[in-house]
Amino acid sequence: MSSQVHPTFVLVHGAFANSFSFAPLQAELGLLGHRSVAVDLPGHGFGATYTRAYQAPQDPEGLATAPGAIKGVTLADNAAHLIGVLERAKRNGPVILVAHSRGGVTATAAANARPDLIDRIVYVAAWCPVALDVGDYYAEPEMATVDAASLGLAMAGNPAELGLLRVNFRTADPDALAAFKAAFLADATDEEFLTFLNTFQPDENLDVGTSADRAQAETWGRVPKTFVRLADDASMPPAMQDRLIREGDELTPDNPYDVRTLPGSHLKWLVDPAPAARLLGELAALPAPSARP
């Protein structure tokens, strides 16, 4: 894409997050002259469920049993919603799809289905499954340092009974809070961490897809792609980020990742978004790639 063409950045959040977390990044992008839209996947943002039991004083029993709107939402639902946004954005010119964390699963599914709507896909420490399903990567050596039980310290209810994942991010349990901070935002102040934590929503859907939703060379593989490594990420360690890059390059050796690196933890790029905004601006100025068959 030339500097004369103004793409739209379409931003896709990760688990338990929503469009609100992109507000500081969108401000920085806007001040650099870039257009962006932050997506709320189904059951997120103002479509999320915040039960009275989640308010203070909390009702633990009620929180463990109250229904949530995200129950039954599937990866296919997420991808269909994102494709609808991409179709609208594409009417205005080139589209750069930016996905963070679990949002990469939805972005990959959308690129598998409609690569024609995406001029570049950017994974920011995001899942792009190639060799394994997402859940299976957690058993791999690259994830050995991840404390997979940290969310369990504040888990509310039985996911099988609720039909969703529910985490009490408003917990006062010091062990749970310490685990969250170490996993997501160890390089921030306590005030920044608690502020970000309060933008999270308690519920997330259960479906992260199957082997059919892994990156597909004939569709996803046609889209120019960038992977932004987060160098100090404890939630998705650099070793796993590098593995996903390597697997993607092996799948489409004629269209390898453009790899960039930002310092910081899993969420620091959203708390201090100026470097990320500049990086995305550089991607918007890249020459248009050759058309792929």
Per-residue pLDDT reduced to its tens digit, 172-187 = 999 999 999 999 999 9
Two tokens at 13? 């959040």
The pLDDT, as a whole number, for residue 287 is 79
Q: In this structure, are residues 223 and 111 in contact, taking their beta carbons and an 8 Å threshold?
A: yes
Whether the model clears a pTM of 0.85, i.e. scores above it, the answer is yes
Secondary structure element (H or E) that encloses residue 120, with its range = strand 120-124
pLDDT in tens, 123-155: 999 999 999 999 999 999 999 999 877 778 999
CATH architecture of 8-284: 3-Layer(aba) Sandwich (3.40)
The Cα 137–Cα 131 span in angstroms is 9
Q: Which residues contact 191 (CB under 8 A, 6 or more apart)?
A: none
Furthest CA-CA distance within the chain:
58
- Rounded alpha-carbon distances, angstroms, from residue 234 to 147, 181, 194, 206, 255: 9, 10, 18, 22, 28
The pLDDT, as a whole number, for residue 289 is 60
Taking the CA atoms of 268, 19, 179 and 207 in sequence, report the sign of the dihedral they define.
negative
